[in-house]
């Protein structure tokens, strides 16, 4: 039974490998050159394209969702202010008509 050695790459090494794979166009060739799984290289490439780094930042999705909710909340507050102003104007008009 053979023991597997897990090689850890630094961020700079992963970026260099990803850039080489992007230039070459073949994950399999570059992965075999560095003795890594082609799927791992594919994951690194996907993360590099999305986040400009080879590892997924922690809490990335949560921050995006929170920002989306904040935008929606601020928009709702603004719409509420507009509606309140409209209601006040309409009430004044009703008072003047009576």
Q: Give residue-wise pLDDT tens across range 21-73.
A: 988 888 999 999 999 999 999 999 988 888 877 776 665 566 677 788 889 99
- The closest alpha carbon to 13, from 49, 43, 73, 53, belongs to 53
Give the structural domain span for 15. 7-57
Same domain, 12 and 50: yes
Instruction: Answer yes or no: is pLDDT of 6 > 80.
Output: no
d(CA 20, CA 35): 14
Distance between CA 48 and CA 13 in Å, rounded? Answer: 13
- 66 and 92, same domain (yes or no): yes
Q: Rounded to two decimals, what is the model's pTM?
A: 0.52
Contacts of 44 (CB under 8 A, 6+ apart): 14, 17, 18, 54
**2 occurs within a structural domain:** no
CB 54 within 8 A of CB 47: yes
Does residue 70 lie in a domain region? yes
Domain count, the chain: 2
Give the integer Cα–Cα distance in Å for 86 and 1: 78
Q: Are residues 12 and 35 in the same domain?
A: yes
């Amino acid at each position: 039974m053979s023991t597997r050695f897990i090689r850890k790459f630094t961020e700079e090494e992963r970026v260099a490998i990803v850039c080489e794979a992007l230039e070459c166009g073949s994950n399999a060739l570059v992965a075999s050159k560095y003795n890594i799984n082609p799927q791992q290289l594919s994951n690194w490439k996907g993360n590099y394209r999305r986040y400009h780094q080879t590892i997924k930042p922690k809490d990335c999705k949560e921050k995006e969702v929170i920002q989306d909710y904040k935008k929606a909340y601020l928009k709702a507050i603004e719409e509420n202010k507009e509606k309140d102003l409209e209601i006040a104007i309409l009430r004044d008009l009703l008072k003047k008509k009576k």
